[in-house]
Amino acid sequence: MKIGVLGSGTVGRTLAGKLSSLGHDVTIGTRDVDSLMARTDPDQMGNPPFAEWKESFPDIAVDTFEVAAQGELLVNATSGGATLEALKLAGAANLSGKVLIDVANPLDFSRGFPPSLSVCNTDSLAEQIQREFPEAKVVKSLNTMTAAMVDPGAVAGGDHDVFVSGNDQSAKDQVRALLESFGWINVLHLGGLETARGVEMWLPLWLSLMGPMGGAMFNLKLVKA
């Protein structure tokens, strides 16, 4: 399948790499290809510059948000505060009728660390996207964890949970199938897109857990009586 991954950061790269390894035709979207390829500094987490990363993934194309958004299925892996701007560059017509997997978190770093949420409680980034692009089929997923998103077996042998929120059942079913192709077993459908509020509000706790958990490779495992 032709997939547009909108976002050139760690998450965009991680998802693009996995999707490409599964045989999908992947294009990463960015604001300006030349400027992205010209960057030479590692990011804040010490990840290599994009061009260096790209050398290991010759099959992945890199283009503008607008061109990447011409894929059949789209992933939003842009900075939460810039998501609406990035998706406007992608173009509403390109999003129309398509599944848009939203993995972004509305983190606001303007007052330093830890970040606050720029939207919460009665609204979510996913709902903001859906309102701005009513013809897109927005499905929130994978925002609650880090690299385990494409390698669930790396945490507890894969026995942990990933959530799916959205208003369109067939879109959610398509996302479930994609997650299963990543190796996910426990895929929990939470309900309509308003359930994205809860998974986005998990982020402050997730950030606090990185210290006690000794890193970012952990996730939620739900149990019941």
User: Which segment (1-9, 158-166, 183-191, 207-215) binds ligand NAP by CB under 6 A?
Assistant: 1-9
Residue sitting closest to ligand NAP (CB):
9
Binder of ligand NAP out of 20, 27, 105, 128 (CB under 6 A): 105
- CA atoms lying within 13 Å on the CB side of residue 17: 17
Considering the rule CB under 6 A, would residue 31 count as an interface residue with ligand NAP? yes
For 24, 30, 32, 116, the CA distances from 172, given in Å and listed in that order, are 19, 26, 31, 28
According to the binding rule CB under 6 A, does residue 103 interact with ligand NAP? yes
Q: Which is nearer to ligand NAP, 118 or 186 (CB)?
A: 118
Nearer Cβ to ligand NAP (22/84) = 84
Task: Tell me whether residue 145 or residue 171 sits nearer to ligand NAP (CB atom).
Answer: 145
The alpha carbon of residue 123 and the mean position of all alpha carbons in its chain are separated, in whole angstroms, by: 18
Q: Which is nearer to ligand NAP, 36 or 185 (CB)?
A: 36
DSSP sequence for 103-119: ----EE-TT-SS-EESS
Q: Where are the beta strands (DSSP E) in the chain?
A: 2-6, 25-30, 61-64, 73-76, 99-102, 107-108, 116-117, 137-141, 161-166, 186-191
- On whether the CB atoms of residues 136 and 196 are closer than 8 A, the answer is no
Least distance to ligand NAP, CB of residue 119, Å: 12
- The site for ligand NAP (CB under 6 A) is made up of 7-12, 30-31, 36, 77-80, 82, 85-86, 103-105, 107, 143, 146
